[in-house]
Amino acid sequence: MIRIRFFAGFRDEVGKAEIEVEPRGGATLGELLEGLKENYPGLGKVLEEGNAIFALNQEVVEANTRVKDGDEVAVFPPVSGG
């Protein structure tokens, strides 16, 4: 399984702190999340804004990174205030 954790505002948008999904051979992180949009419409908004930070196993990566069984994904919104 691949564990996807949502943080901060994204948690409210998606409606869940964590989703577990079956790995699909060769899928990228972006493809994996796109595939979840139907069941979690809030995820569409998160992806559309285009500014999410994706971390794969504690490392910041781009959405085109491939994911595999056992991976842990985290999705954060960066903030901009000061």
63 belongs to the binding site for another protein (CB under 8 A): no
Which pair of structure tokens corresponds to residue 29? 């992180």
3 state SS of 6: strand
* Chain-centre distance for alpha carbon 1: 14
Separation between Cα atoms, residue 22 and residue 63, nearest integer Å: 18
Q: Interacting stretch for another protein, rule CB under 8 A, among 21-29, 33-41, 51-59? A: 51-59
Among the listed ranges 18-26, 27-35, 36-44, 74-82, the one in contact with another protein (CB under 8 A) is 74-82
Residue 37 zone, left/alpha/beta (φ > 0; ψ -120 to 50; rest): alpha
For residue 13, the one-letter residue type is E
User: Cβ of residue 74: shortest distance to another protein, in angstroms?
Assistant: 7
Residue 71 engages another protein in binding (rule: CB under 8 A): no
Q: Which listed range, 18-26, 34-42, 44-52, lies at the site for another protein (CB under 8 A)?
A: 44-52
Contact residues for another protein, defined by CB under 8 A:
7-8, 49-51, 53, 55, 58-62, 74, 76-82
